[in-house]
Structure 1
Amino acid sequence: MGLRYYSALTQVIIVGFVCFLCPGMFNAVNGMGGGGQLDPKAGNNANTALYSTFVVFGVLGGAIVNLGGVRWTIFGSGFTYALYSASYIYLNHKADGSFTIAAGALLGVGAGILWAAQGMIMVSYPREEEKGRYIAIFWTIFNLGGMLGGILPFAINYNSSSGSNSDGVYIGFVVLECLGACLGLALAPPAKVTRDDGSSVVLVKYTNVGKEAIEIIKLFINPLMLCLLPMCFTSNFFYSYQFDNINGALFNIRTRGFNNMFYWGFQMLGAYLISLLLDSTRFVRKTRGYIAFMVVFVFFNAIWGGSLALHNKYPKGLALEDRLDFKDSKRAAGPIILYLFCGIGDALYQSFAYWIIGALSNDNQLLARYIGFYKGMQSFGAAIAWQLAAKEVSVGHQLIANWVLFGISVPPMLYVVWRIKEHSEDISPKHDDADSYEQEKSAHTTGVAAAAA
């Protein structure tokens, strides 16, 4: 398997590094609870605004990517991450969260588009038997960003007794996120990307606004998408609980950075381990789905059971002066281990969700819409979760909500796994000539623009 520039693997690696530098750094900031601030209110409201716009642009993201292409949509979206990180510098000096909330809303627009492009690349570029491995490769590179992003606040805040990140932490994130946005321009046009077997990843000739509008509407009457809706809704709902009520409420500022390094690091481990199962040749695809489902089911129930035990021990969190430090192993070891296992659980859930969606089709434009639906509904759940945190709903009730929602997602998720076929059917004919495709799409786009004028 070579690393040709136009190979599917190379493109997945490139988009992995884009997400390493943009969403990865965002995760490092967000994972410390309240955006790394002592008072989490502004960060929680910003996340509510973020995921509220993400709902809309997650669903629309696939259509936008299909119409605008992956390079320029990712390039523009990446800068919304930098603006969000920069807003915390303003918050540090003005103690006014309005700019951070507005930046969060704009980030929701960019994130919806970026993740639709990323998901389309990750699940439609590889061959069927490679999808689990490609998801793991992406997830490893992406979460390396969150892991290394945790080192930055850990190092800068090592001797700090403050409850909030310094300006230097946020400046570092802004620089890295701008680099990530620019890296998006290094992606190749999908029409020129080929798999190792020589097949093209592009399956349809072109799209237009009317077609995309119709196809988006169809998502909401698609039985399989509706069955996956609870899974989508739940898949980021737990972040606010884990980031705010475990990492943010129980640990001091430097240990929050320390925990983040390993939370995202353990995500890499989780993604790698489940990829071994999802691409195993020992079982047919449906059997692999059943086994992965059981792994996710057991692991998440164990996580929420551990979270309940931790909540019973610290029902109101800890005062700033009493918060846990990573050097105090006697007090901190158990909560830290639980938090790290939360990272593994997130990787298992997300990797499995992407694999399920990738198993439904090999059509890149259809999968862009499916991923957009997934990210949009995921963000719908996240927006509600962050607003529950912002409204200071009790920690116990947030925990119950997470556990119940996971339980609700289980039966329809299992039904979709049961419906998975051994081989997905390509809906549209393949292209043999990437250059003629580009010319045809260009001519079509020009015609649409002329008609609009």
Structure 2
Amino acid sequence: MRYCSPQAQLAIVMAYVLVLLGVSNVVSPSAFTLLEQKQAAISLYRTSWPGQLVISVSGVLGIVATNVAGPRCVLLFGSIAGIIYSTGLVVSQYHGGGRWYVALLVIEDIGHTMLTVCLVTVMLTYPRERRKARVLAMFQFLVNLSLTLGQVLLRDPKAGREAAWTRLAACCVALGIAPWVAPVSGVVRDSGVYVVAQGRGDLGGEIRGLGYCLWTRSMALVVPYMFCNPFLLGTLGITFPDYLSVLLYNGGSLCGVMVLGFLLDIGSSCRRTRGLYGFFVTSFMTAICVVAMAVLNTEKRELRVLFYSAVVVNGMAVSCVFLFSGWVIGSLSNDVEVTARFVGVSMLVVPGLGSLAASACGDGHWPLYVGAGLAALASLGMLVVVRRISDTNTWELARVRPAGSVVDSEQTTTYYEQSSIAKVPL
């Protein structure tokens, strides 16, 4: 089989993102305009621990599926899950709600989380080192922009049926795009040239590889960072009381990913320096958001300008944490299997735990203090990891295959030893 070039593979994946996630986000504001009893069920599921547990478990499923079955199968599964969920939306628009809708939410969350693991893995593997953050930022930008457009364009509840049918059609189109993705489970880099390896993954080997990955020092330092920062931002209790606050949050997310993406790519010729830039920018955004919300919580006056500014910075901080952590993951691993394990394990953290703790505490502020302390400690660990990043391919999590047959985009067979790949600068 003749594989497409890495650029063509990225174009196919971006088309998939634009069709499935983009269209789905655009039509979601009106497609999710459902009956009150269904809205209550959604709220209960989204804000309780079962909903967070589904996302965490789906992260592990995304690792196994990406490395054993390959990206193509994961994209097919995500498309089918989207079709099932969209069909439920169509039925609900004509025949009302039911308790079965929560089951559809579970299917959608599993498919969406597995898709996220697969897509982030591919986007961290194919681009060259100086374009890695840019491609990941483009992925976030498309998702956030489509969601913002949906909130701007489709505010009419009567458009629910048309939106549900549009979402279903987009999932069907995405199902046709997925087979064009190369059925591979291993991609290694040699002097900036990407070599696609035929997948040979098995379930037992994947479990052993995941166990090894969990015991590495970088994993022990990066995952707490990806947990503590969202936990801290969740404890701030930022709400969206009006339409403007939602748009400002999404606008901040769009600006954050684009600025940080280019900073991590072109900020300096030294990879470590660019990583330090990203670390300090992300930490600065988080600190500003915490200080602003602390002032709002202690001030009895209504400071609308400060509140809206905090909403914008919060959106920037959340998107920057995700983008910066993804860039660090891509700088630590040199093939798609280890990258998938890293990304999947990072999805194990419960994203809504901070907001759950804040709501359970009521007027108390101890979750905020605990979150600030944990985030400070986790940031020190991430700083250690970033300072270990070098301009040569001496990845701590390098897992290049032993000498063997590898198939490139021209369908020629070459052989590489581990030493010939791990020491060559990009």
Q: What TM-score do you get using the length of structure 1 for normalisation?
A: 0.73
Asked if 2 retains the 8 angstrom alpha-carbon contact of 1:20 and 1:141, the reply is yes
Partner Cα distance (2:35, 2:354) in 1: 19
Residue pairs, 1:196-235, within 5 angstroms: 199-203=193-197, 206-234=200-228
Asked if 1 retains the 8 angstrom alpha-carbon contact of 2:256 and 2:319, the reply is yes
Partner Cα distance (1:230, 1:381) in 2: 11
Asked if 2 retains the 8 angstrom alpha-carbon contact of 1:30 and 1:36, the reply is no
Partner of 2:290: 304
Partner Cα distance (1:241, 1:37) in 2: 30
Structure 1 residues 188-197 or 380-389, which shifts more?
A: 188-197
Offset at 1:66?
1.6
Partner of 2:127: 126
Partner Cα distance (2:368, 2:170) in 1: 34
Offset at 1:360?
0.5
Residue pairs, 1:339-418, within 5 angstroms: 339-375=311-347, 377=348, 380-385=349-354, 387-388=356-357, 392-394=360-362, 397=365, 399-400=368-369, 402-418=371-387
Partner of 2:14: 16
Residue pairs, 1:27-426, within 5 angstroms: 42-47=41-46, 48-81=49-82, 83-84=84-85, 98-154=99-155, 156=156, 172-190=166-184, 199-203=193-197, 206-234=200-228, 236-237=230-231, 245-247=238-240, 250-251=241-242, 255=243, 259-280=245-266, 282-312=268-298, 334-375=306-347, 377=348, 380-385=349-354, 387-388=356-357, 392-394=360-362, 397=365, 399-400=368-369, 402-425=371-394
Question: Secondary structure of 1:422's match?
Answer: coil
Partner Cα distance (1:25, 1:17) in 2: 11
Q: Structure 1 residues 208, 142: CA separation in 2 closer, same or farther (over 3 Å shift)?
A: same
Amino acid at match of 1:382: P
Asked if 1 retains the 8 angstrom alpha-carbon contact of 2:121 and 2:343, the reply is yes
Any idea what the Cα deviations from partners look like across 1:364-409, whole Å, max 9, x if unmatched?
Answer: 221111111122x2xx3225346547x6542764655654443342
Offset at 1:67?
1.6
Question: Secondary structure of 1:421's match?
Answer: coil
Higher relative contact order (CA 8 A, sep 6+): 1
Offset at 1:336?
3.6
Asked if 1 retains the 8 angstrom alpha-carbon contact of 2:249 and 2:315, the reply is yes
Q: Structure 1 residues 304, 179: CA separation in 2 closer, same or farther (over 3 Å shift)?
A: farther
Q: Aligned pair count?
A: 399
Structure 1 residues 262-271 or 338-347, which shifts more?
A: 262-271
Any idea what the Cα deviations from partners look like across 1:260-312, whole Å, max 9, x if unmatched?
Answer: 45533442322221122212263411122112111111111101222333445
Question: Secondary structure of 1:206's match?
Answer: coil
Partner Cα distance (2:304, 2:23) in 1: 25
Amino acid at match of 2:142: I
Structure 1 residues 74-83 or 16-25, which shifts more?
A: 16-25
Question: Secondary structure of 1:382's match?
Answer: coil
Any idea what the Cα deviations from partners look like across 1:413-444, whole Å, max 9, x if unmatched?
Answer: 11211222222246235724569799xxxxxx
Q: Structure 1 residues 12, 261: CA separation in 2 closer, same or farther (over 3 Å shift)?
A: farther
Amino acid at match of 1:121: V
Offset at 1:150?
2.0
Q: What TM-score do you get using the length of structure 2 for normalisation?
A: 0.77
Say yes or no: does 1:431 pair with 2:400.
Answer: no
Question: Secondary structure of 2:59's match?
Answer: helix
Structure 1 portions without partners, runs of 5+:
316-329, 439-453
Partner Cα distance (1:299, 1:81) in 2: 34
Amino acid at match of 1:43: I
RMSD: 4.1
Partner Cα distance (2:40, 2:373) in 1: 25
Offset at 1:355?
0.5
Partner Cα distance (1:245, 1:35) in 2: 23
Q: Structure 1 residues 110, 208: CA separation in 2 closer, same or farther (over 3 Å shift)?
A: same
Asked if 1 retains the 8 angstrom alpha-carbon contact of 2:79 and 2:172, the reply is yes
Partner Cα distance (2:264, 2:67) in 1: 28
Asked if 2 retains the 8 angstrom alpha-carbon contact of 1:204 and 1:431, the reply is yes
Question: Secondary structure of 2:116's match?
Answer: helix
Partner Cα distance (2:311, 2:89) in 1: 25
Q: Structure 1 residues 134, 166: CA separation in 2 closer, same or farther (over 3 Å shift)?
A: closer
Q: Structure 1 residues 296, 214: CA separation in 2 closer, same or farther (over 3 Å shift)?
A: same
Amino acid at match of 1:355: W
Question: Secondary structure of 1:6's match?
Answer: coil
Partner Cα distance (1:30, 1:408) in 2: 38
Amino acid at match of 1:394: G
Partner Cα distance (2:222, 2:197) in 1: 24
Offset at 1:56?
1.9
Asked if 2 retains the 8 angstrom alpha-carbon contact of 1:25 and 1:145, the reply is yes
Partner Cα distance (2:55, 2:312) in 1: 27
